[in-house]
Amino acid sequence: MADPTVPPPDTLNEIGVLKRREIEARIVAPLIERFAAEFGRERVVELAREVVVDVARRQGAEFSRQVGADDLDTFAAGLEMWTREDALRIEVVEKSDTTLAFDVTRCRYAEMYRALGVPELGEVLSCNRDGSMIEGFNGSIRFTRTQTIMQGASHCDFRYTLGED
């Protein structure tokens, strides 16, 4: 049975990830709010975070399987899915066989969550995926990020390193 959380090739990927996140947020945010009113916000948001992390890990593994590789060059080429339609503006800091470092200087994902009135859920539903996605893609790639636009910083600092502890 196919995993419904992992989009099959050439279906959901036909639309940009930004539009997918908006569709998801318009459904998930009201669910989170209603469940939070009933069961407590902290626990419901934590459960949502856990689900999103698990989904992202599976999607990372599926992405690696679909493209038949798990190296940083392949991952970097796949960033087009997330940057499509100017969703992210990226400035590459370093790119090599073992390092992919870039700063996001504009994040329309953050703008979209603010416009929907759920800026606090942007981190849970979007930013939260980044580290888990790469774990699923290749568990040997280390991901670090110290700040995000979603949390009010001037830029997001994405750093991926292969082969270092």
Residue 62 confidence (pLDDT) = 93
155 burial via Cβ count (<10 Å: 0-12, 13-18, 19+): middle
- Count CB atoms within 10 A of the CB of residue 52: 20
Rounded to two decimals, the pTM is: 0.87
Mean pLDDT of 99-125: 96
User: Cα–Cα distance between 66 and 57 in angstroms, integer?
Assistant: 14
Is there a contact between 147 and 155 (Cβ–Cβ < 8 Å)?
yes
Q: 102: how many CB neighbours lie within 10 A of its CB?
A: 20
User: H or E segment at 50?
Assistant: helix 41-67
pLDDT digits (tens, 9 = 90+) for 120-147: 999 999 999 999 999 999 999 999 999 9
User: Residue 29 — pLDDT band, cuts 50, 70, 90?
Assistant: very high
Q: What is the mean pLDDT of the chain?
A: 91
- The yes or no reply on domain 12-162 and CATH 3.30.2320 is no
Is it the case that residue 6 has pLDDT exceeding 90? no
What would the mean pLDDT of 31-52 be, rounded to a whole number? Answer: 97
* pLDDT level of residue 56 (50, 70, 90 thresholds): very high
Which two tokens mark 133? 């996605």
Give strand pairing partners of 160.
100, 143
CA 46 – CA 10 distance, rounded (Å): 31
What do you get for the CA distance between the two ends of the chain, in Å?
36
Q: What is the mean pLDDT of residues 45-65?
A: 96
* Exposed / middle / buried, residue 13 (Cβ in 10 Å: 0-12, 13-18, 19+): middle
Q: CA dihedral defined by 146, 152, 156, 161, rounded to 10 degrees?
A: 20
Is residue 98 within 8 Å of 71, Cβ to Cβ?
Answer: no
Residue 164: which pLDDT band, with cuts at 50, 70 and 90?
low
Mean pLDDT of 18-31: 96
